[in-house]
Structure 1
Amino acid sequence: YFPLSFQPTENYNNKEKEQQEAIEHTDEVKNEIDRLNEKASEEILKVEQKYNKLRQSFFQKRSELITKIPNFGVTTFVNHPQVSTLLGEEDEEALHYLTRVEVTEFEDIKSGYRIDFYFDENHDFKNKVLSKEFHLNESGDPSSKSTEIKWKSGKDLMKRSSQTQNKASRKRHHEEPESFFTWFTDHSDAGADELREVIKDDTWPNPLQYYLVPNLDDEEGEGEEDDDDDEEEESLEDIDDEGHEDEGEEDEDDDEGEEGEEDEGEDD
């Protein structure tokens, strides 16, 4: 038998050894999970690439149909609650020449995508297509680049927006929204680019939902017309009620007159 003073130390060492072995085995299990996750990511990527190619024909068909709908692109952006805040009057005028928007994911998919804006001949710039690309490097940090906008003489909407903003800042002490087109030249923080997320994840998958947003002005107008109709009906009902009341009073007077005549005849 060991001395009593030695047993607690031995038990403690055994427990410490078991704990250390459990930690090592837990780390091994984690590594196995990581390997499975990596393998799953590779297989998921292959599936995404497969279906991304299958979707292209449908996107192409949709783009062809959209070109037959007048002002589809600008209406979609104007009706979108976030995009509309970036649009000034001159931006909207320029976007009337927008024929379609397309999002193309790179073959790797994880490495990024490109957003293309197709325009008809217009008064502001010479480009037929304005593009902005978003890339992810190996560390996962995003970056962006875009085509240079070839503005026609005196038509640079970004300069006009800047001048308007400077004039407004002298009158008001808050920042005015920049031109929609400054988005193409802003590469300061691609990771915080909300517009790219809105276009890729919202308007691109289903642009029709924003094109079909009901015109609130029309609805208000219809509501006012309905109110007017209700008021007219109420006034007509009031007139009818008053008329019936007057007729009732006249009938009572007539009845009293007839009774009086009958009484006089009996006296005679």
Structure 2
Amino acid sequence: MTALMNHSAFADIVTEEEEECLRSLTKLEVEDAEDIKSGCKVSFHFGPNRFFENTVITKDFHTVDYEATCESNEIKWKIDRSKIPKSDKITFFSWLEGNTTDHMDILDVIREDIWPNPIHYFAATEGEALEASSESSTEEDENELDADDSDE
């Protein structure tokens, strides 16, 4: 939950209520298909919470003949979601429970950024994590630190 919320893409789409839901997130898994280009499965594992009954919510993405599709398992809500104001803006749970390939950028952030680099986002300041730095910028940073140390 911390790593997700520290990524700027999620800070923009997670509502306050959804953030409270995500506090029960215990594990995130990304499973690539054998042919990585044909899709992946993202599983969100949750502990007991007051919002929904599911312990695992999955979203499966498939690409066949250059056409992307996705499926999510049904979220068994304990709360009345009809009272939540409708918005044109995508939110995390509307993306998670939707069976549309709109907003594939959310999947890309999870699969290509957060999943391989969770510590980077876990340690960042909330909503202000930059994209994972490249090796060359890390070397530059280390060189700057070495230069600072020699001045002392």
Which TM-score band applies after superposition, normalised by the shorter structure?
A: 0.7 to 0.9
Q: Is 2:1 the partner of 1:90?
A: no
Contiguous gaps of at least 5 residues in structure 1: 1-72, 166-174, 217-268
State the secondary structure of the residue aligned to 1:87: coil
Residue 182 of structure 1: aligned partner: 94
Counterpart amino acid of 2:109? V
Residue 112 of structure 1: aligned partner: 39
Shift of 1:76: 1.3
Whether the 8 Å CA contact 1:134–1:145 is kept in 2: the answer is: yes
Give deviations 1:168-213, integer Å, cap 9, x for gaps. xxxxxxx5x343110023333x265110000000000011111111
Tell me the TM-score normalized by structure 1: 0.44
Aligned residues: 127
State the secondary structure of the residue aligned to 1:213: coil
CA distance in 2 between counterparts of 1:134 and 1:214 reads: 30
CA distance in 2 between counterparts of 1:164 and 1:185 reads: 15
Q: Is 2:63 the partner of 1:140?
A: no
Whether the 8 Å CA contact 2:5–2:126 is kept in 1: the answer is: no
Greater per-residue helix proportion: 1
Q: Larger Rg: 1 or 2? A: 1
Whether the 8 Å CA contact 1:141–1:191 is kept in 2: the answer is: no
1:100 corresponds to which of 27, 32, 36: 27
Whether the 8 Å CA contact 1:135–1:144 is kept in 2: the answer is: yes
Whether the 8 Å CA contact 1:88–1:179 is kept in 2: the answer is: yes
CA distance in 2 between counterparts of 1:194 and 1:215 reads: 20
**Alpha-carbon RMSD:** 2.0
Whether the 8 Å CA contact 1:98–1:119 is kept in 2: the answer is: yes
Residue 129 of structure 1: aligned partner: 56
Counterpart amino acid of 1:130? I
Q: Is 2:76 the partner of 1:150?
A: yes
CA distance in 2 between counterparts of 1:77 and 1:83 reads: 6
Greater per-residue strand proportion: 2
Pick 1 or 2: higher relative contact order, CA cutoff 8 A, min separation 6. 2
Counterpart amino acid of 1:151? W
- Taking a change above 3 Å as real, the CA distance of residues 209 and 185 of structure 1, as seen in their structure-2 partners, is same
- Taking a change above 3 Å as real, the CA distance of residues 215 and 111 of structure 1, as seen in their structure-2 partners, is closer
Q: Percent identity?
A: 35
Shift of 1:215: 6.2
State the secondary structure of the residue aligned to 1:110: helix
CA distance in 1 between counterparts of 2:26 and 2:90 reads: 23
Counterpart amino acid of 2:118? P
Tell me the TM-score normalized by structure 2: 0.75
